[in-house]
Structure 1
Amino acid sequence: MPAALQWIVNAAPVSVDALSHPFDLGQFSGSVAQAIWRGSQVAQADQSVVSSGWAALDAQLPGGGWPCNALTELLQPQPGLCEWRLLAPALAGLAAGGGPILLVGPPKRPHAPGLVKLGIAEKSIVWIAADTPAERLWTTEQLVKANPRGGTILAWLPQARAEQLRRLQVHAQSCDCPVFLFRPEAAQLDASPAPLRLLTTLGPDWNLHVHLLKRKGALLDGPIVLPSVPGTLASVLTPRLMRPSQLLARSEVSDVPALGRTVDQRHLRQLAAH
């Protein structure tokens, strides 16, 4: 860093014409070039990350996974809809390593057999039934301060305000595990201090659609599509039921000729009547 500062001090004034052309990183020394980040690039996380378990998603997350030392805000149309299917691969890996999965105020009682199907051992789950928004917020803050290394914190905070989230983000910078906050889809219109924000919705054919609302890097057009058949159904669904959208499309196509024949016959009867 001192070398970079010295280079800036001794640098000649930059002309207006030079600003109209992109910088050539080759003119900088190796250490300076590595420290420069362009807005068109996905940033490399300065802190440690935990793989999401989805190769397509890791490729778009700064550092290649869920960040530690920071908040990750997950928005969805309704609570309990997508979070387990999205986070299950990462949670299973953390649980296998002996890390605790700390739940604060989940909307429904955790279903232990279903979590086992997802690869998350029941003994790894710690459910904290905080009922009021104040209790959930206070509990989340205390867990973040406790820094449960090797595990993760999942908190449902639909009513958290911006200043409360900022306080959590400050504490999360000293927490060496991922911290996930679940909030409603409408919260995407509000400002948030979380460095990473995602909107997850259900797509056709058992897919999850993940929209990156905020990350350190260029905006991503369109969703990341993740094939996610629920673990309890994967073994019983037939190949045709794995793609229900195709069944619906075939049904609609088969109905069109039938409607066409009905219209044609009715038209012929009208002509005959005249």
Structure 2
Amino acid sequence: MTALLDWDDEYEAEPPRQRPLARAALSPGELPPAVQAAVWRGDQLGTPTTKVVLTGFPNLDKELPGGGWPAHALTELLQPQPSVMEWRLLGPAIRDVVSQGKDVIVISPPKHPHLPGLCQQGVEERHLVWIQAETPAERLWVIEQLIKANAAGLLIAWLPQARQEQIRRLQVCAHSCDSPVFLCRPAAAEHEPSAAPLRLRVRHAPDWELHVHLLKRKGGTHDGLIKLPSVPASLASLITPRLLKPSTLLAARQKRAVDARLSDVPHVLGRSSPRPPALRVPTP
């Protein structure tokens, strides 16, 4: 009985309570650190918890929310001519995804992917999945199913025709996708409303560059162009330093052409007019 009572006393004894740590007083309008870290402000580039894939261009990464191509969201690439600039813009990210053993899925590209060129970019053929859907309805269905299945490390779809509510539906599905999803659309779609959180307009530049204009991003607006070096991998070892700046050669050629045209035009200003020949009067 004595042992039982001793056990009961030990069981009923309560451990000493620890006093809660004193919290620092907050000034009016100040948020606790945990709450402040979870709040996104409209003038900031997204939140630090966003999962991204690096673009491979440092000057572009610093202008994108989270510092790269965002997952859990759509990214629209707008360009005048399809299937030309998106491979050069997304090439570093594709190479990074493939190096991790993940697949890259392309849906209805207007032109056949050039496999030798992609291999030079470090993209193995076995990690490239090409799906050809003919009608807009088929494309939308395939894109939605792949996003829901979270089946790719990176997904690129060419969607020239899409309504606002269709883009919004894909964006809702993309919230549960762990990989970046890119929609390649014509430049004319720039003035159409879109639920995609990130929209970029891309165009060629003379000096082997891509000029990117951020039309929409999560954060403050961006004015101006982002210049990205984009020499094709197959030509990088063949182009001479002089040909890396074609704009300089073109400017010099135009200057020579203008100088040649001006040399053929008689100058009126700064030159005295020639005297007419003197008339000789014959003597009788």
Q: Deviations over 1:213-250 (max 9, x none)?
A: 11111111111100101111111111111110000111
Q: 2:217 corresponds to which letter in structure 1? A: R
1:179 to 165, 178, 181: 181
The partner residue of 1:195 within 183, 194, 197 is: 197
- Write out per-residue CA displacement over residues 76-135 of structure 1, whole angstroms, 9 at most, x where no aligned residue: 111112100000000001011111110110001111001011111111111011111111
Q: Is the 8 A contact 1:169 1:193 kept in 2?
A: yes
- Paired residue secondary structure (1:232): coil
Q: What do residues 159-200 of structure 1 show as CA deviations (whole Å, max 9, x unaligned)? A: 011111111111111111111111110111111111111111
Question: Residues 118, 270 of structure 1: CA spacing in aligned structure 2 closer, same or farther, 3 A cutoff?
Answer: farther
Which of these residues, 139, 142, 145, is aligned with residue 142 of structure 2?
A: 139
Query: Aligned equivalents of 1:212 and 1:163: distance in 2?
Result: 22
User: 3-state DSSP class of the match of 1:231?
Assistant: coil
Q: Distance in 2 between matches of 1:250 and 1:273?
A: 39
**Shift in Å, 1:137:** 1.1
Higher gyration radius (CA): 2
Instruction: Return closer, same or farther for 1:30/1:268 CA change in 2, 3 Å cut-off.
Output: closer
Aligned to 2:250: 248
Q: Distance in 2 between the 1:128 and 1:48 partners?
A: 26
Structure 1 residue matching 2:199: 3-state secondary structure: strand
Compute the TM-score of the two structures, normalised by the length of structure 1.
0.85
Write 1 or 2 for the structure with the bigger share of helix: 1
Structure 1 unaligned spans of 5+: 1-10, 13-22
Residue 237 (structure 1) aligned with residue 239 (structure 2): yes
Q: Which runs of 5+ in 2 are unaligned?
A: 1-26, 277-284
Contact 1:105 1:156 in 2 (8 A): yes
CA distance in 1, matches of 2:159, 2:57: 25
Aligned to 2:224: 222
* 1:157–1:183 CA contact under 8 A, matched in 2: yes
Q: Tell me the percent identity.
A: 53
**Corresponding position of 1:94:** 97
Distance of 2:133 and 2:35 partners within structure 1: 48
CA distance in 2, matches of 1:257, 1:200: 35
8 Å CA contact 1:51–1:64 kept in 2: the answer is: yes
TM-score, normalization by structure 2: 0.82
Q: Which letter maps to 1:97?
A: Q
Find the residue that maps to 1:263 and give its secondary structure: coil
Query: CA, structure 1 residues 261+31, in 2 after alignment: closer, same or farther (shift >3 Å)?
Result: same
Amino acid at match of 2:246: P
**Cα distance in 2, alignment partners of residues 273 and 168 from structure 1:** 82
Secondary structure of the structure 2 residue equivalent to 1:60: coil
